[in-house]
Structure 1
Amino acid sequence: MLRDVPLPLSPAQIRSIVESQDVPIALWSGAVSSGKTIGSLIAFLLRLAVAPDHGLIVIVGRTLQTIERNIIDPLQSTNLFGPLAMHVLHTAGSTTATILGRTVHLVGASDARAEGRIRGSTIALAYVDEATLLPQPFWLMLLSRLRVGAESRLLATTNPDGPFHWLRTDFILRGSEVGLRNWHFTLDDNPSLDPGWVSRLKAQYTGMWYRRFILGEWCLASGAVYEMFDAEEHVVDVMPPMKRWTAVGIDYGTVNAFSAVLVGHGEDDRLYVASEYRHDSRAVGRQLTDAEYSRNVRDWLANVRPPGQREARGVQPQWIFVDPSAASFMNQLWHDNVPGIAPAVNDVLDGIRSVSVALGSGLLRFHRSCTGLLGELPTYAWDERAAERGEDKPVKANDHSADALRYALHSTAHEWRGLIRPKLEVAA
């Protein structure tokens, strides 16, 4: 089977593939794009070929969509798996796939309730994508379902998380007790990566994210969330003309502050937070209705002066991303015929990572007039008590403009990540 794979394999990948075949729980962890997924999938196919006829075969991920993107799509790529890809059959949206002639069940596990999807099952072979993102009760239930004797196997991949995450404290550090073997991967363990692409990838991460996703360390989320923010570097008085107004992000509040930030794509291929609207009802002593907020946001955008234009006023952003919990406000905007309204992508950690990437890579700048946002960024901090419980969570205070920024940037991350320039000086 290894001969059918067209990609070159590193010694670390080959060693993990061979040694994992006789391990009850096999874990591939480490840096992003380090080759751990390819190695683990080859190991999975080898185990699948000899898996017992009785017992289910399952692939587990955060959602069905992430399973399709992270696992099924690579398995169906002839560039990655050669002729083996022809033996991976799946209809998009289906909760099963046929791999090497075996029925494989695809199980999304985004919250603790997902354990009900496997309760009562007998599982012979399981593959888990991004194990740290699974709820611990689901992982424990999955282990209890592996009951086809010595033939049962669990294979999993993950990027590192905090040092107190349950996967590290209860399983990796107790590997010999619980039957787990962990293989740690770095970018140097993936021989198929182009050096220029590696440099660009390294440019996307700084601080904690660099340590976790580039160095593969299990490190604590502590201190400032945006530790890379530097007012001397990131705050400007003059902006270039904009190629387009990318997005507005809106964090809705009635008692809490209502905040909106406007992001543009400059002619210098940087992103600029050019203007903000903010209403803090506690500070001014008056709450506003949805209709008043809608009118104020429209008036604000109609009076923004585009850089380089002395007389013209008014901008039209491509998108207006709204806090997804603010359904009534979105309805008001639709009623007022405001174009480009969409619920923001509200994955907090992924969103913080997107903002960190834009900041750390030098892509993002802020106009000095955005005083609400600039006041929040330096004080936006990780919750140390949550970190001690193995959770990465920011302190939920003074974060309304920061949330609006996260909505605007993370919801458009697929559009601007290509603008990041490699940093050849970043150390490996």
Structure 2
Amino acid sequence: MTAPVSLSAKQARSIAEATARINIWSGAVRSGKTIASLLRWLMYVATAPRGGSLVVVGKTNDTVARNVFEPLMDPALTGPVSRRIFYNRGAPTANVLGRRIEIVSANDIRAESRLRGMTCAGAYVDEATLIPETFWDQLLARCSVPGSMIFCTTNPDAPNHWLRQRFILRQGELNLKFWHFVLDDNPSLDPAYVNNLKAEYSGLWYRRYILGEWCMAEGMIFDSFDPDRHVVDHLPLMERWISVGVDYGTVNPFAAILVGVSTPDADRQRRVYLAGEWRYDSRQERRQLTDAEYSARLGRWLDTFPGSYGPGTSGVAPEWIVVDPSAASFITQLHRDGLLPTMGDNSVLDGIRTVANLLAADHLRIHRSCQGWLSEVGSYSWDDKKAAIGDDVPIKLDDHSMDAARYGLHTTQAAWAPLLEPLPAY
């Protein structure tokens, strides 16, 4: 089976050498590891032993569709073989080369039960570090058909993650093959794209997603933040008011951050702005507000926000009001008041990476009036104790404006990201 793509030497070697019970491709984003693993999986499906199920595993059905089946069904990758791959997004099964493939999501500790009763002849695992350890152990036990093999990809995680400690570091002891990819291992990428990607990541994300290192999360989270570069005293004219991110608090502070995208500057570049902030700290004010009072004050703040559409104007109508998903009663109140809230995406690590990438790429500015955000950013740090056990989480202290901005930016990324592409020069 030959795919109509040009493979790097490392990709070709990994495909040829992936003959172990467990085969792991790890490394940087866009480094070619996924393509190599998928082609090897196709080869395996064509010859896999009978008498057991073939399984594709991912964190969610959406990630399985995006990371596994979209590439497999792309003729540019798999050529005429793509016509023998049948899958409908969200379906529990697929058909690949005449073999039935079970689709299993593994997004929490309960996922392990989805494998019980199965006898497997092989498995493909997407983003292996994101699945629960108990699920992985159950998968190993279920791959009991003689000759069964497991193929998986992963971006690097903490150095003491269970996949690295229990499996990768024991490569010599186990029936396991492992390949490490860095971004520069993919010669098919446009050099300008590679340079842009390297510029857009910093700190932890650069080491993991560019260099492919398994490294600890430590120190300041937004280590590329530079007050002299990122903080502004004046807002430019805004092309779109994207969102207000809200971190709800009753005893803790309530924080709302307004997000906008500017019109192109002299270099024909738009930027995302944290344009304003409204906070209420019940401890300082010595009075807690009700949901209705919070909703009314938030609405008044938006209605009176100064200079929103140019000199002499006021008021802003953001496209989304993105709220802390745990604030169910406040979300209900906003609906009653006609403000149409959206539940925020609380994927903490993904959201932090979105903000970090914006700062590193010089695509984010913070207005000096966002005093809560500016007071929190310097102490917003990784939790060393959690990192020691393999968990990347921030210290939960004085992070209310951090969370509000994360909701407002990460949840609406699909709306503002295309606007940041530089305009062509004429």
The residue that corresponds to 1:73 in the other structure is 70
Deviation at 1:81, TM superposition (A): 1.1
The residue that corresponds to 2:210 in the other structure is 214
Q: What's the TM-score, normalizing by structure 1?
A: 0.95
The residue that corresponds to 2:344 in the other structure is 344
The residue that corresponds to 2:85 in the other structure is 88
CA–CA distance in structure 2, aligned partners of residues 419 and 228 of structure 1: 22
The residue that corresponds to 1:425 in the other structure is none
1:17-416 equivalences under 5 Å are 17-20=15-18, 22-149=19-146, 151-267=147-263, 268=265, 269-306=270-307, 309-339=310-340, 341-416=341-416
Structure 2 residue aligned with 1:6, among 4, 13, 23? 4
On the 8 A contact 1:203/1:421 being kept in 2, the answer is no
Residues 97-127 of structure 1, C-alpha deviation per residue, up to 9 Å, x if partnerless? 0000000001000011100000221111000
Distance 1:310 1:418, change over 3 A: closer
Count of aligned residue pairs for this structure pair: 417
CA–CA distance in structure 1, aligned partners of residues 173 and 421 of structure 2: 45
Moved more, 199-208 or 166-175: 199-208
On the 8 A contact 1:27/1:181 being kept in 2, the answer is yes
CA–CA distance in structure 2, aligned partners of residues 132 and 167 of structure 1: 7
On the 8 A contact 2:258/2:274 being kept in 1, the answer is yes
CA–CA distance in structure 2, aligned partners of residues 123 and 100 of structure 1: 17
Deviation at 1:19, TM superposition (A): 0.4
On the 8 A contact 2:382/2:395 being kept in 1, the answer is yes
On the 8 A contact 2:262/2:272 being kept in 1, the answer is yes
2:191 maps to amino acid: P
The SS at the match of 2:318 is coil
The SS at the match of 1:247 is strand
The SS at the match of 1:183 is strand
The SS at the match of 1:182 is strand
CA–CA distance in structure 2, aligned partners of residues 333 and 278 of structure 1: 17
On the 8 A contact 1:258/1:279 being kept in 2, the answer is yes
Residues 131-176 of structure 1, C-alpha deviation per residue, up to 9 Å, x if partnerless? 0101111111111111112x01010000001111111111111112
CA–CA distance in structure 2, aligned partners of residues 296 and 107 of structure 1: 45
The SS at the match of 1:379 is coil
The SS at the match of 1:366 is strand
The residue that corresponds to 1:426 in the other structure is none
Residues 68-105 of structure 1, C-alpha deviation per residue, up to 9 Å, x if partnerless? 11101111111121111111101222110000000000
The SS at the match of 1:305 is coil
Deviation at 1:281, TM superposition (A): 1.0
Residues 30-55 of structure 1, C-alpha deviation per residue, up to 9 Å, x if partnerless? 11011111100011011111111111
CA–CA distance in structure 2, aligned partners of residues 152 and 308 of structure 1: 62
The SS at the match of 2:94 is strand
Moved more, 235-244 or 306-315: 306-315
1:291 maps to amino acid: A
Q: What's the TM-score, normalizing by structure 2?
A: 0.96
CA–CA distance in structure 1, aligned partners of residues 321 and 145 of structure 2: 52
Deviation at 1:421, TM superposition (A): 6.6
CA–CA distance in structure 2, aligned partners of residues 376 and 221 of structure 1: 18
Deviation at 1:232, TM superposition (A): 1.3
CA–CA distance in structure 1, aligned partners of residues 228 and 106 of structure 2: 43
Deviation at 1:420, TM superposition (A): 5.1
1:231 maps to amino acid: P
C-alpha RMSD of matched pairs (Å): 1.3
CA–CA distance in structure 1, aligned partners of residues 403 and 219 of structure 2: 18
Deviation at 1:248, TM superposition (A): 0.6
Deviation at 1:414, TM superposition (A): 2.2
Runs of 5+ consecutive residues of structure 2 not aligned to the other structure: none
On the 8 A contact 1:361/1:421 being kept in 2, the answer is no
The SS at the match of 2:31 is coil
The SS at the match of 2:167 is helix
The SS at the match of 2:81 is helix
Deviation at 1:418, TM superposition (A): 3.8
On the 8 A contact 2:308/2:314 being kept in 1, the answer is no
On the 8 A contact 1:361/1:420 being kept in 2, the answer is no
2:381 maps to amino acid: A
Distance 1:23 1:111, change over 3 A: same
